[in-house]
Amino acid sequence: MNQSHPHTPQPSFYDYEQILSQEGIRVTAVRLLVLKTIYNTISGAFSLQDVVSQLGTADPSSVFRALTLFSQKGLLHLIDDGSGVQKYCVCHCPDHHHHSGHIHFTCTLCHKTFCLTEVPIPSVPIPQGFDIEESEYIIKGLCPSCSKKTHSTDSSPEVI
Ligand SMILES: [Zn+2]
Ligand SMILES: [Zn+2]
Ligand SMILES: [Zn+2]
């Protein structure tokens, strides 16, 4: 990864200790480290493995515990993109009840999951008696770069 090439706008500044204490999470070194990584280094959806490989030396099980705690407290959205691996993304909902979640796009080729934060989950008419807590909306297909790749192979010169 080339860190010195900022192609996505970075959030200017977060007070990580405040984010944790606002949610009633006790501040520890590992939790701070994990929080910084998922807010700053990783864009879009990520797995435990993504965080562990960013952190290098961190103990995977304590990273996992931090991620679990963050999602219980509503700091993270849990995403089941069908890959069999639990994915997470940072919650930017106005409150942490995820009532205004966003659509996720999973690429069937590179298996990356993207947060389409500009695309809100449409409200669906559900039968009476059912009580929605969270909704998840996954679209599958090809991401822009994979889509480009497949198109460039399509246009390879044909032998007639
Ligand atoms: Zn949320
Ligand atoms: Zn892709
Ligand atoms: Zn997301």
- Which helix H or strand E contains 119, and what residues bound it? strand 113-120
Place of tokens 């995977």: 60
What token pair was written down for 111? Answer: 């298996």
Measured CA to CA, the distance from residue 80 to residue 6 in angstroms comes to 28
Ligand 3 centroid from CA 160, angstroms: 46
Q: Which residues contact 139 (CB under 8 A, 6 or more apart)?
A: 103, 104, 105, 106, 116
Structure-token match 């993270």, residue found: 76
pTM recorded for the entire structure: 0.78
138 Cα: distance to centroid of ligand 2 (angstroms): 15
Instruction: Read off the pLDDT of residues 31-89 as tens digits, 9 standing for 90 and up.
Output: 999 999 999 888 889 999 999 999 988 899 999 999 999 999 999 999 999 889 999 99
Residue type at 127 in one-letter notation: P
CATH class of 16-124+134-152: mainly alpha
Q: Residue 64's pLDDT is what?
A: 97
pLDDT band at 151 (very low <50, low <70, confident <90, very high): confident
What would the two tokens of residue 62 be? 């304590």
62, with CB counted inside 10 A (0-12, 13-18, 19+), is middle
Which DSSP helix (H) or strand (E) runs through 71?
A: helix 60-72
Nearest ligand to the CA of 107 is 2
Query: How many angstroms is it from 94 CA to the middle of ligand 1?
Result: 7
The tens digit of pLDDT for each residue in 13-39 reads 689 999 999 999 999 999 999 999 999
All structural domains of the chain with their residue ranges: 16-124+134-152
